[in-house]
Amino acid sequence: MSKADLIVGIQWGDEGKGKIVDLMAQDYDVVCRYQGGHNAGHTIVVGDKTLALHLIPSGVLNANAINIIGNGVVISPEALIEEMQQFGSLKGRLFISDKAHMILKHHILIDQAREKLRGAKAIGTTGRGIGPAYGSKIERSGHRMGELRDTEKLAQNLIDYFTTYRAIFEAMGIKTPGFDELKAELDMYAKELLIYVEDTTALVWKSLDEQKKVLLEGAQGTLLDIDHGTYPFVTSSSTISSGACIGLGLSPKDIGNVTGIVKAYCTRVGNGPFPTEDFEEDGKKLGKNGHEFGTTTGRPRRCGWFDAVAVKYASRINGCDQLSLMKLDVLDGFDKVKICTAYEIDGKRVETLPQSLENLKPIYEEFDGWNGSKGVDKYEDLPSNAKAYVKKIEEITGTKVGLISTGPDRKETIIL
């Protein structure tokens, strides 16, 4: 039996996982997504074509690979149908877990209403219903993709739920649909998606038993993990490598090599603590050079310097065998670049990630900048200062850098 290799985000998401999954997926038979929803976005650039994926695994561009959306993903049928349209027929190439929970319209309305009610204390969600859908799953009032096989029963169950909680929906200003409207919507989902729905856990097991090469892909990043991230400013699922076991039905023994994806600097979308955020000209320059706007939301990302303390923590919790360092070329043109090597908390130096990232001060090491890393595809051709920067990251995090991205295209990649 073969083992499944895994790619995981090491920061707050938006690290560039899409490019690396797309690059690696060319050598894999099966690519699986194991958590999150359409709040995630992977941008893939191939030549002059740019694709933004939200639910479909990044292996979709490998014509020989099959793509699996696992049970740990929450799926908006409407968003998935829309995304699928850019690829034509995916029959035989896309499989959706019958145990994956659905994001329905009331989840989206609840998400948006809650954020509005939070006011200044808003978490900064994408408003796409992810949290409420996972909430329904945990409180056992959710509905799974396999239930589309009997839309009449599903519609009636939803109507019963709306009736039971009518007072809450009215208090939040949410109008719920009637039976006929709801069933028509569910019938449309069933017509478009049921041909892709099956027991994906058995499919992944069969693939590993047959010695096929399997790649697992997460969404968001480690610091957004529901348990191990910067709570409460996190997502609603397990974004770390062990989440792949839950989200696909694998055992820890099924996991092979783990690659952590990390930017050469740091970004964050939404609210929450960000120790190395730069509010001055350097932060603005990072955002401009890196085209830092959310793939899903279009919101400008907050930008700052590389946080090696957080990356060391994330690398350990994910069991990373290597790091893939993305967007090194964005640092071209800076006179000085920084790496956060520790925090100062209450006058003390701390080199581990604390429970709260509030009220701390980053401690930086400063390095001479460089020019000329853009598009480089051989390590020896990198500027010497860029090489020194990469070596320092390896030294502090205790994890080797196995890939370096110097641009958005597949070809702009150094493999060490």
Show the 3-state SS of 71-131: CCEEECHHHHHHHHHHHCCCCCCEEEECCCEECCHHHHHHHHHHHHHHHHHCCCCCCCCHH
pLDDT above 90 for 244: yes
Which residue would you say has higher pLDDT here, 347 or 88?
A: 347
Instruction: Please answer whether residues 242 and 36 qualify as being in contact, where contact means their C-beta atoms are separated by less than 8 angstroms.
Output: no
Q: Annotated catalytic, 307?
A: no
Q: Annotated catalytic, 38?
A: no
pLDDT above 80 for 299: no
- What pLDDT does residue 342 have? 96
pLDDT above 90 for 8: yes
Q: Which of 5, 22, 29, 42 is catalytic?
A: 42
Side by side, which strands form the sheet with 4-9?
Answer: 197-198, 94-97, 66-69, 30-33, 214-217, 4-9, 255-263, 322-326, 401-405, 413-415
Q: Decide: residue 383, CB within 10 A, 0-12 exposed, 13-18 middle, 19+ buried.
A: middle
Q: How far apart are alpha carbons 120 and 271 in whole angstroms?
A: 10
Q: How far apart are alpha carbons 180 and 339 in whole angstroms?
A: 58
pLDDT above 80 for 278: yes
Q: Which domains does the chain have, with CATH numbers?
A: 4-75+201-415 (3.90.170.10), 101-195 (1.10.300.10)
Residue 344 banded pLDDT, cuts 50, 70, 90: very high
Q: pLDDT tens across 212-229, in order?
A: 999 999 988 999 999 999
- What pLDDT does residue 123 have? 65
Question: pLDDT averaged over the chain?
Answer: 93
Mean pLDDT for 175-190 is 96
pLDDT above 90 for 42: no
Mean pLDDT for 204-217 is 97
Instruction: Please answer whether residues 129 and 102 qualify as being in contact, where contact means their C-beta atoms are separated by less than 8 angstroms.
Output: no
- What pLDDT does residue 145 have? 98
Q: Which of 5, 14, 98, 329 is catalytic?
A: 14
Q: How far apart are alpha carbons 337 and 324 in whole angstroms?
A: 19
Residue 31 banded pLDDT, cuts 50, 70, 90: very high
- What pLDDT does residue 189 have? 98
